[in-house]
């Protein structure tokens, strides 16, 4: 069965420092990967998807099929980036996503 692993429950960085939130997946086929974000007192929402190859709020994520990873990166973290981040996987024509356990990012002033 497919699985998403986010090894860091908590991650703290200082403002202006680079940040990388790790995501690894297990699936033998061609996956679709996503990052969802939940800011304090807000709803969970889609941040970005690998297929779009876009940068959202300065964040990018590259799918590395060799390493089965989809790490989320930002070169200069801002305090407003503090949030819970979830990596999610869709396999084939599935009608649901598989989410990881989440990483709570805190950007310190």
Partner 1 sequence: DVKVTQSSRYLVKRTGEKVFLECVQDMDHENMFWYRQDPGLGLRLIYFSYDVKMKEKGDIPEGYSVSREKKERFSLILESASTNQTSMYLCASSLVNPDTQYFGPGTRLTVL
In contact, 23 and 69? CB cutoff 8 Å: yes
The residue (of 26 and 101) whose beta carbon lies closer to partner 1 is 101
Among 25, 34, 35, 70, binds partner 1 (CB under 8 A): 34
The residue (of 17 and 51) whose beta carbon lies closer to partner 1 is 51
Among 11, 27, 31, 49, binds partner 1 (CB under 8 A): 49
**40 Cβ neighbours under 8 A, 6+ residues apart:** 82, 83
Cα–Cα dist 83/74, whole Å: 14
Binding of residue 31 to partner 1 (CB under 8 A): no
């Amino acid at each position: 069965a497919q699985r998403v692993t986010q090894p860091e429950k908590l991650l703290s960085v200082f403002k202006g420092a680079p940040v990388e939130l790790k995501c690894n997946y297990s699936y033998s086929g061609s996956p679709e990967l996503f990052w969802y974000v939940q800011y304090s007192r807000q709803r969970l929402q889609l941040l970005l998807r690998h297929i779009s190859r876009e940068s959202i709020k300065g964040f990018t994520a590259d799918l590395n099929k060799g390493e089965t990873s989809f790490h989320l990166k930002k070169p200069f973290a801002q305090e407003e980036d503090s949030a819970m981040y979830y990596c999610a996987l869709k396999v084939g024509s599935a009608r649901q996503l598989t989410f990881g356990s989440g990483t709570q990012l805190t950007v310190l002033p």
